[in-house]
Amino acid sequence: MGKTTKAKQFYGRQFTQKEMSLVCEVVNTCGGISRKELAYTVCELLDWKRANGKLKERECRDFLEQLEHQGVLKLPVKKPTGSRAPRKHVSTEGAGWPYSGLTGSVEMYTPLCVERVEKTEQRRLFRELLSRYHYLGYTMPFGARLQYLVYTHAPREVVGCVQFSSPAWRLKVRDQWIGWDDTTRGLNLQHVVNNSRFLVLAQIKNLASHMLSAVLSHLRTDWENHYGIEPWLVETMVDRNRYYGGCYRAANWIVLGETSGRGRMDRYQERHGADVKTVLVYPLVKTAAFRLVSGR
């Protein structure tokens, strides 16, 4: 593509000029393989792994696409296949809310049952519910992710979907609240988790805040077991034109302020002011801000 391969930083990792040259060499010489295969190859060569030893293939694909956007390299054309679903799904069929006919007070249905989405039928149900009932639809999240289905105790019926994924790279109000500079954020960002989807499917009083509490009681252990990283802080962004975020406030989340409107993954600064959201955080440990600065 003609641009020099300077050192770069992405998702907290600093890539040296030598590593960047290797990345470009791999992309230029490994013709005929998919972007996913390229990402696995780059991860293996650079030893880019999670704490649990698994390759950061999804993050690497994002990195390669960023480099292509910047004109550093040219990736192979994405290959559509019959088995690969589109990245975003929005359905209008049967989208009348609520999905569940349960009503009344949440105490009538507690304790809520929280199940992590792991099996094929769970993934299918989770995707279908978000596609039909969430205003953003279902989108395959970037990087790490955990998804949950929430059920009432009796009768057993699904009443909610909650998704956690990799955090926003840069959030001014969050970074100011923590006390981060760019270097420290890069080192410790992996200890922040983003609540990227939250869907309530029944008109049950106080269900939303109870759902949040129930799922958060599982998140810290599940995330550490799955990714080998202990999460210290959860963040979320609420569309201020649609919601007040009352369930988060009722569940003791901290309101930090508003985003710039660029979008959580807009590294190229193309969408300033386009999508302003309210930023809220929930510390999973008492000294979250201190630990996110000190790294311990």
Beta bridge partners of 148: 116, 162
Mean pLDDT by 10 residues, the chain (296 residues): 68 86 86 82 87 85 88 82 52 65 95 95 94 87 87 94 92 96 89 96 96 96 91 95 91 93 54 75 96 93
Q: Are 233 and 288 in contact (CB under 8 A)?
A: yes
Q: Residue 83 has what pLDDT? A: 44
Residue whose structure tokens are 């929930």: 282
| Residue 11: closest CA among 82, 88, 75, 66 | 66
Residue 267 to residue 139: CA distance in whole angstroms: 19
Q: Residue 260 has what pLDDT? A: 80
Please, what is the average pLDDT of the chain? 86
Q: Are 43 and 51 in contact (CB under 8 A)?
A: no
Residue 255 to residue 9: CA distance in whole angstroms: 29
Q: Residue 37 has what pLDDT? A: 84
The predicted-structure confidence for 41-75, as pLDDT tens digits, reads as follows 898 888 888 887 888 888 898 889 889 888 899 99
**How far are the Cα atoms of 7, 25, 227, 230 from residue 16, in angstroms, in the given order?**
5, 14, 25, 27
Q: Residue 232 has what pLDDT? A: 97
Q: Residue 85 has what pLDDT? A: 44
Q: Residue 95 has what pLDDT? A: 55
Residue whose structure tokens are 């077991």: 225
Residue 282 to residue 280: CA distance in whole angstroms: 7
Q: Residue 268 has what pLDDT? A: 46
Q: Is the pTM of this model over 0.75?
A: no
Beta bridge partners of 195: 164
